[in-house]
Amino acid sequence: MSDISAASAASTNVDSSGPEGSGSNRTLWGDVRYELFRSPVFWISSVLVFVILLMSFFPWIFASTSPNEAGACELINARVKPTWDKPFGYTAAGCDMWSSLVWGTGKSVNVAILTTIGTVILGVVSGTAAGWFGGLTDTIISRVTDIFFGLPFLLGAIVFLAIFPTRNIWTISLVLILLGWTSLTRVMRGSVLATKQKDFVDAARALGASDLFIIRKHVLSNSIAPVIVLATIGLGSYIGAEATLTFLGVGYQRPTVSWGLLVNEGQNLVFAGFSHLLIYPCAFIVVTVLAFILLGDVLRDALDPRSR
């Protein structure tokens, strides 16, 4: 078993004896950390993502009053434009726009997080099984994947969500997971197929290692990188997907506070002189999605040595 562990260590170590490595060996993930920490895009996107997550889980830090609290919204303030003391103005329902944006962050981000976790689990498990075992297992998983690929993402989400009598964070996440796991499965399958041809996998087999041991120690650690990149980018995409579904009327519903609902309410009033009702929610969505996409791009560059 010690020989197998040595083979495992050899499979994840890279020689960084150039000027950047200062003649010492760094692991693959250590090299990734080095590349990330020297990238200004990584720090900018990480700070934005950190603020977004902080706003999602601890909204009272940024806005002490929730729009759903009694007395938080007054019709006399409906559609009031931004002023010096209220730079974000008020919503169509007379709620403070800043508070609505802050407290609506969690609804969109939490759906994206749950969806990403679900799609990663399904994608990694199914992709690893298809790529490693091949044969009938690969055929069945690939055909099921093709069936779900044939469903248009937006149309399929609208149809499935229309079935549920109530639409909340769990039902929206479930539908997005159902339609979003296929891409990760295909990426993971291809990565596993490439990894299992490596010499260190053959060495582990020759030493008598079981399939489960090889998958856990060798295959996953050397195949998961593309999935991490795709999942990070997908997290931002799911935020936009949730806002789109809510905007179309099949996502969150009042009294829930959501970016998609704010966009829905603001679209009909933007040409009536109340452009802030549409601009601010859209700006929050764009910045959030862009932050996750930039983070995914810099992760892709760090995890792909051929790009350096």
Whole-prediction pTM value?
0.82
Type of residue numbered 178: L
| Contact (CB, 8 A) for 240 and 255 | no
pLDDT at residue 307, as a whole number: 53
Distances in Å between the alpha carbon of 20 and those of 14, 27, 38, 84?
Answer: 13, 14, 11, 50
| Domains defined along the chain, listed by start | 40-307 (1.10.3720.10)
Q: At what angle do helices 276-303 and 28-37 cross, to 10 degrees?
A: 140
Alpha carbons within 13 A on the beta-carbon side of 96: 17
Distances in Å between the alpha carbon of 285 and those of 59, 168, 190, 202, 237?
Answer: 16, 19, 32, 47, 10
| Contact (CB, 8 A) for 141 and 130 | yes
Per-10-residue mean pLDDT of the chain, 308 residues long, equals: 46 42 57 82 93 93 84 82 89 90 92 94 94 91 91 90 87 93 92 88 86 86 87 91 90 87 87 88 93 88 65
pLDDT at residue 27, as a whole number: 67
pLDDT at residue 284, as a whole number: 93
